[in-house]
Structure 1
Amino acid sequence: MFVDKAKIYVKAGDGGDGLVAYRREKYVPEGGPAGGDGGNGGDVIFRVDEGLRTLVDFRYQKHFKADRGEKGRNKSQHGANAEKMIVRVPPGTVVIDDDTHEIVADLTRHGQQVVIAKGGRGGRGNTRFATPANPAPEIAENGEEGQERWVVLELKVMADVGLVGFPSVGKSTLLSVVSAAKPKIASYHFTTLTPNLGVVDVGEGRSFVMADLPGLIEGAHTGIGLGHEFLRHVERTRVIVHVIDMAATEGRDPYDDFVKINEEIKLYNGKLEQRPQLVVANKMDMPEAEEHLLEFKEKLKQYRADIAVYPISAITKDGVQELLYRVADLLETVPEMPLIEDVVEVEERKVFRLQREDEDEFTISRDNETFVIESPKIEKMLKRSQMNTQDAIMRFARTMRKMGVDKELRKRGAKDGDIVRISDFEFEFVEQE
């Protein structure tokens, strides 16, 4: 089973909660704060494993959740950080954010990895909040929530050679002749619905991977037929081998077939037009093939004189070995990975978060008699605060006052006893004397 597209949900681990605790030891009267910080949540990391060839595993498991960090401990001990979750993907996997449709990563090399969802930071314990004015605070933070997102995985086949051409021109037959691959072969269009891979042993210690890519039709660059399902695999091939039915058994003109498919490739990605290409004139054992070949070569000289034509018969194997030698020679001159414009190189970077001027911004609206406050900074602080102690509540109130929320509520007509809502949290407005 070949699966080349999957949609999955990833959730990094939440940070562990900080702890409120105090030293309680013999001969240490009035011990100070001793609550440790919570551990960081686990990241979700995608790592390339060259032993994988499909995305079939993601058909059965669509949710990946990392563990949360441990809670802080007594004696100012830090809670353990959660283990990173490693998700193995095959080479050639493109990771796309399902909401923004932006490419998150393009994973091509064995061992290459990228953080897809970052784990939440652990909450601070009360040791962190001690001050001369409050040497024994009852304040600790909840762990930060880990990132979560839906991502789409697309697999672009990693092959040295890609066989392209209209349906039923003999691509699958050629692959079955030159390798141990056993693609489905039948006398109807679109027998091949998914790519088939085969290792071709040329001899003399040389070999390469060949992919029989699904046939395409006119308009494929717009998604017609197998469309983009076919064309995204062409991007990963180092050499394009264009197979043509030179006997015109389907009633089509061989040269017209060649031009149409090259136009589809060009319209999908202009850079692919410059990819090294060979033309395989297949079915030369059939009547009228020789006449069509002479005519094809004359027209090809005017279109692109740099493309060589190799007449073969995949059935009788005539000319096949010469073709394989030429492909192997050509691959020695082509870089290991084709350079595609949209490849994203992922590097580990340290991110320094700067204070932005707009972080203190907030809005106040009315929902019937309730005042509703919206502010990313306040909502985040509320989520992280353990609002079960007087110290924590007073700290939160001071932040609101410093941001000017109290002043703005009074301007809007808030009085003692009015209800104020922030996210899912509601409290009474109290005038300070």
Structure 2
Amino acid sequence: MRQRVLTATQFLEEHDLVTPETGTLSGHLLRPFLDLGGPGGPVNAKAAAYVGESVAGPEPEADGWIAPQGNTKRSLRTALIRETGLASYDVTWPGELPETARSPHWQALCDAVDAWDELGAFRRYQVICALYKLCLFDAAVALGDRLGPPGEFTALSELRVIGARSKLGESVHDLVPRTLAVLAQTPASPRVRLAVAVNLAIHYGRATRDREATVEWSDRVLAEAAAQHAEGSPRDLLMASITLRAASFGPFVRGDHDAVAAMLKQAEAHAVDVTGAPGVPLVLADENRYAVLETITNAAVARGDRETALAAATALTAHDPREPRAWLQLGAVHWDDGRTPDALDAYRTAAVLGAPFTGTAWYCTGRCHEALGDLDQAAQAYANSVAAEPLGITALHRLHGVADRTGQRFLAGWARDRLHVLHHRLAAPVSSSTTVRQGARA
């Protein structure tokens, strides 16, 4: 009689004990996104933990709570589930997570959603912020239809819901009128007016080529910020840093790079000043500092200031060393400057840190190995990229080419066949136009 050998994996799976604690590094670092458990590794995950703690804690004074500003990547939760293999955590509503997998903070979020009709406008705002941060965009939109009568926190909630609609693919042509409607419904609130201006300045600056609208709303940001009559408190300095970063899109589209640099320098000074200051949670100060350094890097690249770009990108990885996007950005700066070994080190670090940039990081790692003449390592990196992102057409192209050059016929044939299948499923020709720029944020 053959004796059955029960592996640790089988035991954990059969006894429903597979959790983020037993999984991958990315599952550990980004655990707050899965179940609001643990403190989180990168600043982005710590911000998710912060909103979970906010919903679970006693309701503070409305003016005493600050919402996170970070924009959660749409694919984060999907990529994290795929990478960790934790299929039971693939939910669209908090209550869909099995009770055995819920942390106390996640259960508090479930309770708040269940009690939605009894919540006040401010607590609803906190819940919407949590759902948005956790990539539960469907839930945020559905509850957004039940926000209640107009008011300041209803308006702020609606702005987050509009962000969730954007993540779900709603047309920008619909989202701008929705944003303007929020402004029309709550014109007396300086806080709402400033939030709308910031949202639209960033929207036009990033998502469109509407130069006039970008300038108009960037100027509006500065005007609304001036009307706030700030007294220089740490909270005021945090908001000043946020608004300066948003307003910098105006001079950027006008080509006034000196003005952009000056505004971002002031934004960074404010970001440093609020770090550790009373009244501003450290995670939110860190989140803002990350956003400022990232913008400084991008602005420096745009104006060709390679020295500042490298310094800011390096500072970004020092500020948030567990954030793969920061290492991707540093890798891109090194690559563009021809420092391929340094780019390789940065991209490999990003790949190890994982979701949601695992596929991109391994692709960029492969490009570096290929440039350095190490084709076997390049093939392995491209294969890792495809494993992390099975529909990664660009990585498949590179894998096919490198495998063919190194005589790995089976691997080259497999990549070729995959490309052929994807070609027909996409009903579009696969060409070099699909290639992403080195360091691109997939």
Which of structures 1 and 2 has the larger relative contact order (alpha carbons within 8 angstroms, sep 6+)? 1
Per the normalisation by structure 1, the TM-score is: 0.21
Larger proportion of helix: 2
Larger proportion of strand: 1
Per the normalisation by structure 2, the TM-score is: 0.20
Which of the pair has more CA radius of gyration?
Answer: 1
